Amino acid sequence: MALFYPTEIPDVIIFQPQVIEDFRGFFMETYQKEVFSFAGIVHDFVQDNHSSSIQWTLRGLHYQVSHTQGKLVRAVIGEIFDIAVDLRKSSSFFGKWVSAYLSEENKKQLWIPPGFAHGFLVLSKRADVVYKTTDYYDPAGERTILWNDPTLGIDWPIPVDQQPIISEKDKKGALFLEAEVFA
């Protein structure tokens, strides 16, 4: 049976699908509208994305102020440390973050509702991440918060002697206290 687990921010939910395994491999339903609706996730998904990254790549913290996206994230190859940051001023969790380890082994998925920034760190030699979104990508509305923002204090599991691999765009992310957020 598929299971849903709320995180410390109850709107962010870990989904553990039922996995049927035998000598040939495995089968699992990664999404079924009725099952997710029963768990309170009633959004329609309009786009699927797939990224592939090498070890210590850090992507994020990304969000859109227009065409705000909810995301259902999973790692289909490798392992990632996935982050969601609450950007909803009206939330009692505003400015707080939660994390989950997502991997091809544990097959967990993370539901990140609209109003959150999202990022992840690749822990394995390579990771392929796929995620469904509730709205379309809008480059004009895209925003980035600095991955190592001191106010957020995200505890990324990066070894002391390792520098994360970060895009130029992500290096120029806004500080949390200066970022555009949601009402």
Whether 136 is catalytic is no
User: Of 50, 101, 131, 137, which is the active-site residue?
Assistant: 131
Q: How far apart are CA 79 and CA 137, in angstroms?
A: 24
Q: Which positions ≥6 away from 171 have C-beta within 8 Å?
A: none
Query: For residue 102, with 0-12 CB atoms within 10 Å meaning exposed, 13-18 middle and 19 or more buried, which class applies?
Result: buried
Question: Phi, psi at residue 33, to the nearest 5°?
Answer: -55, -45
Q: Is 62 annotated in the active site? A: yes
Q: How far apart are CA 40 and CA 10, in angstroms?
A: 11
φ, ψ of residue 159 to 5 degrees: the values are: -60, 150
Annotated catalytic residue within 62, 101, 118, 136: 62
Q: If we measure between CA atoms, which residue out of 146, 145, 171 comes closest to residue 64? A: 145
Does an H or E element contain 52, and which? Answer: strand 47-54
Catalytic residue positions? 62, 131
